[in-house]
Chains A and B, each alone.
Chain A
Amino acid sequence: MVAIIRRELRSYFVSPVGYSFIGFFLVLNGLMLLVTNLITGSPAYQFTIGSMSTWSLLAMPLLTMRLLSDEKRLRTDQLLLTVPVSVGQVVLAKFLAALAVFGGGTLITVIYPVALSFFGDLAVGRIIGAYLGYLLLGGAFIAIGIFMSSLTENQLIAAILTLAALALMMWILPGVRDTFITASTVSGIVFASVVGALVALLVYLATKNVTLTGVTIILFAGAIVVVALLSAQFFETLLLDFLQWFLLGDRFDVFMTGVIALSPVVYLLSFIGLFLFLTVRVVEKARWA
């Protein structure tokens, strides 16, 4: 596994990929610093990290797009999968290598708060918390990127899928959440119906069985009616609760307050674990296809 980490790290820096990532990352960070701290003369560096948490997703595909797609394209996966190393170790090694480069880039930015400390009082606790949250969040971004790169042989497609997924979770879903902040029972019922319809569609596509599809629809409709009669407020928060599962940014925000709470840490770690697990499944499934 160490061998794969070393090879990946080497591969980042013998090609322009590693330098492009770090360069792009530092330019973004410099911009955020300029807007958040320099122009306003504020020492609150944690807000620069906060801005980075949403904007640095633009740089992430550079790190992850080729991790697995290139192995498939060049058929080097035939080496990795026929040596006594498990798929889990391969995926984890690649994740750790990408995380190391991301962590390296982040480490360079520590210069900024250190420089700022000469000109004002820093909220050291909040900045450390924000950095920790940012590393975990970056890990989650990387996990999604690796997953996307396991789906295709084409780096560009992997990059676009990664950007789409990250933009959805960091930009679009928070917007949707804000729109439905004054949630109503109706929106929850509509949402539950849409989910029911999607499940029924999946059942139909998987089995082509009309009866089974009908039963699914009836079950869902029945459940919605029963729940609506028994406890209407369940639907009031349903949509928000559902969205909440996917809002990575909300978990990060907790760290910015300087509090290292257990639940966002566990959430982000399990998010990373889930996507690495899914990646392993995708790679293993290719053997059976």
Chain B
Amino acid sequence: MITVKNITKRYGDHVAVNDVSFEVNEGEVVGFLGPNGAGKSTTMNIITGYLSATDGTVEVDGHDVLEEPNEVKRRIGYLPELPPLYGEMTVTEYLRFVARLKKAVDADGSAMERILELVGVTHVRERLIGNLSKGYRQRVGLAQALVSGPQALILDEPTIGLDPHQIIEIRNLVRDLGKGHTIVLSSHILPEVSAVCDRIIIINRGQLVASDTTENLAKRLSGGSQYLLRVGGADNAVQAAIKGVTGVSGVSSRGVVEADSVDVIVDFDDGADPRRAMFTALSKADLPILQMKPVDVTLEQIFLQLTTREGGGSN
């Protein structure tokens, strides 16, 4: 559906996006993840034809964004980071204006009603957009992207600046929309992306760092698995005892949390499960295990690992 090939965007000497390529298939919900200033918005602006890439091509449904901009724009609904709203219009006036711009056919107004209902702005439809709260403006922005029923939605930070309750609502809305649309959604909030998206594209300092499903990313990066242990005894003795167990690839101390004990993180080799052996080893050394629990690799860790490894910096 969307094919981005080697796009680069330069502002003078500053390279905002550097040779980024990826594909989004029909019906997929893809999360576009990166720290602030990573080039997410620039990439989205290039896909929607608002900016032109210095190099590279973007195709939507086989149409090049430079050669057939209108064919591309017809197929895309775009919610920019700051919703493009006119404060002096009411919600319905604004959406009708957008519908006319997009040449949407909606003779009986039923499509408009459906969108108002879907994003939950029916009860504020006659209010001036300038008087609406941030959450409602965001919804109107989303409604604007949905007008004319585009096949693909590009949503730039759709939940930014919303309260937790609204974030959950918008997230559910995006999940529902994902059933009928191809969606590219940007965010720097990781749980959001893992909750909604089929696939994640991570971008940092203008470069593509990874593109895979959440599970694959976790698998690829963690190697084996990690456990957190709390053991009664001295740090050195505990570490020495655990290191002697086969299947353990590393031990690191997390300091003392509970008196007369020490917390350690133990890394296991790929596929190994030395939990029983650890128990035996520690009990032989008279070091009682007070707690043992698996450490899940979160998206945060993946993200930090990826973005700090490349070029040594995340914000």
A residues neighboring B (CB under 8 Å) = 2-4, 6-7, 10-11, 14-15, 74-86, 287-289
Distance in angstroms from B180 CB to nearest chain A CB is: 21
Q: Would you call B100 and A11 a contact (CB within 8 A)? A: no
Q: A74-B84, A78-B80 are in contact. List 4 more A-B contacts (CB 8 A).
A: A7-B86, A75-B82, A77-B50, A82-B76
The residue in chain A whose Cβ has the minimal distance to the Cβ of B100 is A3
Q: Would you call B70 and A79 a contact (CB within 8 A)? A: no
Contact of B85 among A76, A77, A83, A84 (CB under 8 A): A76
Assess whether B49 is interfacial by the CB under 8 Å rule.
yes
Q: Would you call B84 and A79 a contact (CB within 8 A)? A: yes
Assess whether B275 is interfacial by the CB under 8 Å rule.
no
Q: Which residues of chain B have C-beta atoms less than 8 A from A3's C-beta?
A: 97, 100-101
Q: Would you call A79 and B101 a contact (CB within 8 A)? A: yes
Q: Which residues of chain A have C-beta atoms less than 8 A from B78's C-beta?
A: 78, 82
Q: Would you call A2 and B100 a contact (CB within 8 A)? A: yes
Q: Which residues of chain B have C-beta atoms less than 8 A from A76's C-beta?
A: 84-86
Q: Which residues of chain B have C-beta atoms less than 8 A from A86's C-beta?
A: 70
Q: Which residues of chain A have C-beta atoms less than 8 A from B80's C-beta?
A: 75, 78
Q: Which residues of chain A have C-beta atoms less than 8 A from B70's C-beta?
A: 84, 86
Assess whether B175 is interfacial by the CB under 8 Å rule.
no
Q: Complex: how many Å from CA A76 to CA B83?
A: 8
Assess whether B243 is interfacial by the CB under 8 Å rule.
no
Q: Which residues of chain A have C-beta atoms less than 8 A from B102's C-beta?
A: 83-84
Distance in angstroms from A280 CB to nearest chain B CB is: 14
The residue in chain B whose Cβ has the minimal distance to the Cβ of A84 is B70
Q: Which residues of chain A have C-beta atoms less than 8 A from B85's C-beta?
A: 74, 76
Q: Complex: how many Å from CA A192 to CA B172?
A: 70
Q: Which residues of chain B have C-beta atoms less than 8 A from A289's C-beta?
A: 11
Contact of A82 among B48, B82, B86, B89 (CB under 8 A): B48
Q: Would you call B88 and A79 a contact (CB within 8 A)? A: no
Q: Which residues of chain A have C-beta atoms less than 8 A from B159's C-beta?
A: none
The residue in chain B whose Cβ has the minimal distance to the Cβ of A76 is B84
Contact of A85 among B48, B51, B54, B101 (CB under 8 A): B101
The residue in chain B whose Cβ has the minimal distance to the Cβ of A90 is B101
Q: Complex: how many Å from CA A16 to CA B223?
A: 65
Contact of A78 among B50, B69, B98 (CB under 8 A): B50
Q: Complex: how many Å from CA A3 to CA B104?
A: 12
Assess whether B103 is interfacial by the CB under 8 Å rule.
yes
Assess whether B74 is interfacial by the CB under 8 Å rule.
yes
* Given A79-B144, A287-B51, residue A4 in contact with residue B101 (CB < 8 A): yes
Q: Would you call B52 and A287 a contact (CB within 8 A)? A: yes
Main secondary structure on B side of the interface with A: loop
Q: Which residues of chain A have C-beta atoms less than 8 A from B230's C-beta?
A: none
Assess whether B205 is interfacial by the CB under 8 Å rule.
no
Q: Complex: how many Å from CA A85 to CA B69?
A: 9
Assess whether B139 is interfacial by the CB under 8 Å rule.
no
Identify the interface centre among A4, A83, A86: most chain B CB within 10 Å of its CB: A83
B residues neighboring A (CB under 8 Å) = 11, 45, 48-52, 54, 69-70, 73-74, 76, 78, 80, 82, 84-89, 97-98, 100-103, 144
Q: Would you call B86 and A11 a contact (CB within 8 A)? A: yes
Identify the interface centre among B52, B82, B101: most chain A CB within 10 Å of its CB: B101
10 closest A-B pairs by CB: A3-B100, A79-B84, A84-B70, A76-B84, A78-B80, A83-B101, A84-B73, A82-B48, A287-B52, A75-B82
Q: Complex: how many Å from CA A3 to CA B102?
A: 10
Q: Which residues of chain A have C-beta atoms less than 8 A from B82's C-beta?
A: 75, 78
Distance in angstroms from A123 CB to nearest chain B CB is: 44
Q: Which residues of chain B have C-beta atoms less than 8 A from A82's C-beta?
A: 48-50, 73, 76, 78
Q: Which residues of chain B have C-beta atoms less than 8 A from A15's C-beta?
A: 88
Q: Would you call B88 and A75 a contact (CB within 8 A)? A: no
Q: Complex: how many Å from CA A77 to CA B102?
A: 14
The residue in chain B whose Cβ has the minimal distance to the Cβ of A89 is B101
Q: Complex: how many Å from CA A4 to CA B89?
A: 13
Pairs across A and B, CB under 8 Å, 12 listed: A3-B100, A11-B86, A14-B88, A15-B88, A75-B82, A78-B84, A79-B101, A81-B50, A83-B73, A84-B73, A84-B102, A84-B103
* Given A75-B80, A79-B84, residue A84 in contact with residue B74 (CB < 8 A): yes
Identify the interface centre among A6, A7, A86: most chain B CB within 10 Å of its CB: A7
The residue in chain B whose Cβ has the minimal distance to the Cβ of A7 is B97
Distance in angstroms from A173 CB to nearest chain B CB is: 36
Distance in angstroms from A264 CB to nearest chain B CB is: 36
Contact of A11 among B74, B84, B88 (CB under 8 A): B88
Q: Complex: how many Å from CA A80 to CA B73?
A: 11
Q: Which residues of chain B have C-beta atoms less than 8 A from A79's C-beta?
A: 84, 98, 101, 144
Q: Which residues of chain A have C-beta atoms less than 8 A from B74's C-beta?
A: 84
Q: Would you call B88 and A80 a contact (CB within 8 A)? A: no
Q: Complex: how many Å from CA A4 to CA B69?
A: 19
Q: Complex: how many Å from CA A78 to CA B89?
A: 17
Q: Complex: how many Å from CA A14 to CA B76?
A: 31
Distance in angstroms from B120 CB to nearest chain A CB is: 21
Q: Complex: how many Å from CA A288 to CA B74?
A: 22
Distance in angstroms from A175 CB to nearest chain B CB is: 41
The residue in chain A whose Cβ has the minimal distance to the Cβ of B72 is A84
The residue in chain B whose Cβ has the minimal distance to the Cβ of A287 is B52
Q: Complex: how many Å from CA A85 to CA B54?
A: 23
Q: Complex: how many Å from CA A4 to CA B50?
A: 18
Q: Complex: how many Å from CA A15 to CA B73?
A: 31
Q: Complex: how many Å from CA A3 to CA B89?
A: 13
Q: Which residues of chain A have C-beta atoms less than 8 A from B11's C-beta?
A: 289
Distance in angstroms from B72 CB to nearest chain A CB is: 9
The residue in chain B whose Cβ has the minimal distance to the Cβ of A3 is B100
